[in-house]
Chains A and B, each alone.
Chain A
Amino acid sequence: MPANIIEANTTPFDIVDVDPITLDLIENGLRNARFEMDAVLFRTAMSPGIREQHDEFPIIANRDGKMVVGQLGSFIHGFLSAYEGTIEDGDVFLMSDPYACNGAVSHLNDWLVLMPLYKGGRIISWSAMFGHMSDVGGKTPGSLPTDAGQIYEEGLIIPPVKLYRKGEFQSDIMELILRNCRLPHWNRSDLTGIVAANRIGQKRILEMAERFGEDVYHSALEELLERNKRAMRQLIIQNIPEKKVYFEDFICDDGIGMGPYKLACHMWREGDRVIFDFGETDPQSQSSVNFYLNEEMFKMFVGVFMIMVFDPQILFNDGFYDLVDVRIREGSFLKPRHPAALSCRTHALGRVMDLLNGLLGQSKPEFLCAAGMSDSPHFFYSGYDKRGEWFQLYQISFGGIPAKPIGDGPDGHSLWPTFTNVPNEFLESYFPLQIDVYETVADTGGPGFYRGGNALKIGYRFLEPGEISIHDDRWLTYPWGVNGGLPGGRSSKVLERRDGTVEHLRSKCDRIKVDVGDILYFITWGGGGWGDPFTRDADLVALDVRRGLVTAAGAERYGVVLTEELYADTAETEALRIKLTAERSDIQIFDKGGTIAELKARCLVETGFEPPESPRFDVRGTARAAE
């Protein structure tokens, strides 16, 4: 049953001709409204996740819920197709259950607020926004337990509920929800900010509908979607081959001893449509590293990525969705069955971007980018401070941006848009922490004609006893290089106890006890290189050595010989490069640093850990998937 939408006025909007200028004015106005929504939330939110790191995503959609401006595609049709209640003027919906919206939000921490906008008794638009809450209850502080077997362990599940019913605030629902969270004042302020941001967005939409007229506004949105579809059709025909292209990448482990998990996809074109078939992706995991991938969200990734790579002038929206067919098998890693745990989906979410890059780039290697910091590594630290007050930190780290066809990847940066780091002086002032080191790690950027960005290393010195959790990946598989570029460096975590003993921590671990004076070195991973490193300007390599971004030993991987003063020795470099080029085998498009079997064989020696066992799949998932 689809949602029951109640409208006092059932007259359909007239589709009128919108002159191209008005169309551009409305598109521009909607974009401004969207940025205003961001601004309101950034300024009012309390959790560092939203406030500093900007883990939130607004959209404005047409009457049918198709996104006209925004980033991650529409969450609204997922909601509309799964919600069975009424929708009325003044309602504000809140939800977090991925299984109740086809994965439009993909774990319980993302609280999604949806607001229909009525004008003259009819829905004229939708606005929606989700933000990552620092805590939603469950068995671990931060609500992201890697070892969860079911979603019930991951915190409060909010089905679609009315936070406002016909304009009236439902405070009992709010209080019920907040009572289940460890940091209720953060959730309250973040959620209030999300609602306020939506209201601002809606105010702007109403102003536009007044200024141009309702029919014009409605028709303009339709035309904007159509305009995007026309542009994307061109891009698809020009850039996607009819012949099947295949790519696979991996999640290194599931946090409970098994891995790697394969994410695999075939891509091909039929006429003006592109098909993505994830049929060979592994079945769902028994831990929470599954990623409930909403097909519409993946279409948005496809669209955005194609636009960025092939023609950044296009403004994207949901208009081209009919041109993309996404096939994900139920019971697979990317569409697990209820009640599979979902909280730690961040690794696969990032890896899907690598997958897409690997697929699209194969037909046009000159447009191909390397792999890089395709994840949001999490760090958690919680406990009681000297005043006896509960503290809880959730922080996202960054790393090497991939080298790409137009240049080097920045060091220690965010692959996700709008994310910024939390100033260390802020952390030290609000949490019992001292950040001893905050720098990137030399040689972790993959060598290439363009260098991948370096990994980030943060040294957290703990000033109170507490517990930490770590969620990271790419400790076993490599961020691959392309077109001759070498892979970037892998991640690692080192805990140096106050007494001097050193422990290597796993990439994914929860609730590790730490004491005053212990230091955690949280090292992420680098970006892969692009193009033949033996062709990189030797002076640039030498400069990076003097900057401390590449070591003298690392320069050898570029075939660069250095003088004592760390400048390139031109003659010796040329000779070495000729020799190394001759010895080397042919350049492959991808350099993944070895097969999975090879990586596992070297695992203990290189990482200090036994390789993970091959996954045993959830019986129900595999069994039902085989139906």
Chain B
Amino acid sequence: MSYRLGVDVGGTFTDLLLIDEAKGATYTAKVPSTPEDSSLGVLAGIDKVCQTAGVSPQSISHVMHGTTVATNAMLTGNGARVGLAVTRGYKQVLQIARSLVPGGLGGWVIYNKSDPMAALTDTIEVNERMSARGDTVEPLSETSLREDLRRLADQGIEALTISLINAYANGAHERRVRDIATEEIPHIPVSISSEVIPEMQEYERTITTVANSYVRPVVSNYLRNLHSELSNRMADVSLHVLRSDGGLASVDAAEAYPVNMLMSGPAGGVSGALWIAQQAGYDNLLTFDMGGTSTDVALAQNGAAQTRRETTVGDVTVRASSVDVRTVGAGGGSIAHVPELTGALRVGPQSAGANPGPAAYGTGGEEPTVTDANLVLGYFPQTTRLGGEMQMDRAKAEAAVQKIADAMGLPLKKAASGIIDIVNENMFGALRLVSVEQGHDPRDFSLIAFGGAGPMHANALGRLTNAWPVIIPPGPGVLCAYGDATTRLRDEASRTYIRRFDDTRSAGVMAILEELADTAAQTLDAEDVPRKDQTTKFEIDVRYNGQGLTLTVNVDLDEFRAHGLEGVAEKFDQVHEKLFTFNLEVAKELVNLRAIVQGKAPIVDAETIGAGDEDPAAARIGEQEIHADGADYMAIIYDRGKLLDGNMVAGPAIVTEMDSTTLILPEHAGEVDRLGNILISPVQMN
């Protein structure tokens, strides 16, 4: 008998999901996270979940893991000291970056630039030159290079990046420099740009490869430790890590290209949300993950999350595919304030975080936060008896929100509503970025809400987006573990290939696509995924000759065989018109070709709940007054654990469970489905 295990390490809890591969049955466990060494929490969780399921850890064959180790290394500056080798004349490629000063006119007055991720003192120049076509203009000179590399090692670099001009067109010089580095400084791990990201644009390719080097030792140590600990308990276990793009990678691939793991955590949430929504029959989704300091949103169409060709962590953006998660600095801890000069109400991006926390927590916070406003409005169950996770201090919350009320000359509840309206609007802005601004009408989607604060704001966001029903999945915490456990092995191979359509033969493109597919497939071959279980998708980035940014066209190989580039051109025109309202009579050009290979999806059934009728009265545990839409209402409080399939919860209502609270607004109702999802929609007024 064999089991798959999904593990998500969050800031507070580590969630685990164990799946019986034969029967599809699932078991969950939640243990405290252990930030000093997160593998401890993982191991404790494994014991617990195995106990629950009554199985031995020995029967677990696959462990799937979403990790924030890479992200945290970037955010906290705890990465490796990276040495950088560039083409002569380009030493300051990271110092100059794209010359952009953020902000509007005069933004430079308040802008201090942070130091580059690879220090200038650890950067060396290599005498060599490739042309844009990949021809050698100046052969590589090795004389001073060996000495320079040894000097970098003496200075104390812990990883080396090689990023030479035009290496996307020909990586021969980069590979040769790597060979020399391996001879001279064999203990230093090397990343080369033509392998990490063989695409045009020297700054982007360099920063991406440097980021790869930067997080590599940290990620590598962590994964090796975890893998060996797991192997001690489970013979022949295979460990996989969730990539930023929502696919799974082997430990080896994750170690070599950790820059692809930067969004591993959020990708798990999106994948899990997607999976559970699909079980409930929803394929087109806006995901809405609202936490304490920020909110992540993404869009999925036909069951697949939209990805984009870049990943942003802190103030660094790298070229690595990731689920297109947009983050906005709005969460439960976001602080409301009224600048004296304008008298406008602003919420966030400053956050009270966990320390000092919202005023209501009584842990020293005095600034009014979104959580305080929610409490003032009555959206939290007011006693722990009613399922609240901790006793919150209403008086402190009111005192904090009163500051806003005074500054704006509004009654208390009106001010609290204002804070909620503004923060909702900020999150709506992020949802627009992934929907309307990408040419998608949110009304064609359902909004699925999770994260600690998501279910409380979800109904209101549904009203702004009109993305009905709003789906509140059960146990929002374990969602990420679902994502980890249910995604597929994945790898991609890509290549910049800039050619005008009218200069290019479809057969040549076809040959490259097949070659890329084979490269990506080899990664899965190495994981013993037979070719018959592999599926391959192709993408071509296209633009009008002369445009800067590209649009990605999905290509089906059979279609391509039949229609060639003409078919691609037609699709491109369609997408361009949808996004930008017009097309041009201009030659099109290919920019990047890409193949994505995926393994088979595992068969997993979601847990179901008992059946009931429309009346949710059995789950009712109390009532309390709330303020919504400018009026006071008596809202009924329900225990989520007691709701049954078929129950219809009419708003205003509050539904509580261990780690979140769902708010159903007046004139809305939540229908409970067989999986325990609450599906909120407006009540038809006849």
Contact = CB atoms under 8 A, between A and B. Distances in A.
A32 B91 contact: no
A314 B92 contact: no
Describe B's contact surface by its main secondary structure.
Answer: loop
Interface string B572-606: 00001001111010100000000000000000000
A459 interface: yes
A410 B101 contact: yes
A434 B87 CA distance: 13
Given A440-B92, A549-B120, A308 B99 contact: no
The contact size tier of chain B is 35 or more
B318 to A, nearest CB: 15
Contact of B95 (A46, A47, A315, A440): A440
B203 interface: yes
B111 A410 contact: yes
Contacts of B432: 32
Interface string B436-447: 010000000000
Nearest to B344: A24
A40 interface: yes
A417 interface: yes
Interface in B419-470: 421-422, 425-426, 429, 432, 437
B132 A425 contact: yes
Contacts of A423: 200-204
B532 interface: no
Interface in B472-515: 498
A213 B616 CA distance: 38
Contacts of B341: 230-231, 234-235, 311, 313-314
A2 interface: no
Nearest to B424: A25
B342 interface: yes
Given A189-B546, A227-B342, A423-B202, A417 B584 contact: no
Contacts of B343: 20, 227, 230
Contact of A426 (B112, B121, B201, B344): B201
A189 B200 CA distance: 23
A189 B544 contact: yes
B110 A304 contact: no
A588 B336 CA distance: 43
B618 interface: no
Interface string A38-65: 0110111111100110000000000000
Interface in B100-115: 100-101, 103-113
B120 to A, nearest CB: 4
A411 interface: yes
A186 B544 CA distance: 11
Contacts of B426: 28
Interface stretch (A76-84, A147-155, A191-199, A502-510): A191-199
A27 interface: yes
Contacts of B121: 543, 546-547
A511 B370 CA distance: 61
Given A25-B425, A227-B344, A369-B109, A199 B96 contact: no
A437 B89 CA distance: 4
Contacts, number: 223
Interface string B214-244: 0000000000000000000000000000000
A315 B98 CA distance: 26
A39 B434 CA distance: 13
B131 interface: yes
A412 B92 contact: yes
A626 interface: no
B199 to A, nearest CB: 9
A185 B586 contact: yes
Given A231-B341, A425-B132, A308 B92 contact: no
B417 A196 contact: no
B165 A415 contact: no
Interface in A205-237: 227-228, 230-231, 234-235
B549 interface: yes
Nearest to B111: A410
Contacts of B548: 42-43, 45-46, 48, 51-52
A439 B96 contact: yes
B108 A404 contact: yes
A301 interface: yes
B547 A45 contact: yes
B386 interface: no
Contact of B408 (A20, A27, A186, A547): A20
A20 B584 contact: no
B100 A413 contact: yes
A439 B89 contact: yes
Interface in A302-318: 304-305, 307-309, 311-315
A440 B96 contact: yes
Contacts of B113: 410, 413
A309 B111 CA distance: 11
The contact size tier of chain A is 35 or more
Contacts of A228: 342
Given A423-B203, A547-B121, A429 B498 contact: yes
A308 B132 contact: no
B345 A21 contact: yes
A459 B581 CA distance: 40
Nearest to A232: B341
A196 B165 contact: no
Contacts of A406: 110, 112
A413 B202 contact: no
B90 interface: yes
B93 interface: yes
A403 B106 CA distance: 13
Contacts of A414: 99-101
Contact of A434 (B95, B137, B344, B422): B137
B95 A411 contact: yes
Contact of B96 (A185, A415, A456): A456
B100 A418 contact: yes
Given A23-B344, A308-B107, A426-B200, A411 B580 contact: no
Nearest to B429: A32
Contacts of A45: 547-548
Contact of B89 (A309, A408, A429, A459): A459
Interface string A169-190: 0000000000000000110110
Contacts of B129: 434
A170 to B, nearest CB: 16
B316 interface: no
B110 A308 contact: yes
Contacts of A478: none
A173 to B, nearest CB: 17
A424 B202 contact: yes
B562 to A, nearest CB: 30
A39 B165 contact: no
A27 B344 contact: yes
A85 interface: no
B108 A401 contact: yes
A188 B584 contact: yes
A421 B98 contact: yes
Interface of A: 20-21, 23-25, 27-29, 32, 36, 39-40, 42-48, 51-52, 71-72, 185-186, 188-189, 192-193, 196, 199-200, 227-228, 230-231, 234-235, 300-301, 304-305, 307-309, 311-315, 369, 372, 398, 401-402, 404, 406-421, 423-426, 428-429, 434-440, 456, 459, 543, 546-549
Top 5 A-B pairs ranked by shortest CB distance? A308-B106, A46-B546, A51-B548, A231-B341, A547-B120
10 contacts: A24-B346, A25-B421, A36-B437, A313-B339, A314-B341, A315-B342, A398-B99, A410-B101, A414-B99, A546-B121
Interface of B: 89-93, 95-96, 98-101, 103-113, 119-121, 129, 131-132, 137, 165-166, 168, 200-204, 339, 341-346, 408, 410, 417-418, 421-422, 425-426, 429, 432, 437, 498, 544, 546-549, 576, 579-582, 584, 586
Given A424-B202, A549-B120, 5 more contacts: A32-B429, A200-B581, A401-B108, A408-B112, A417-B105
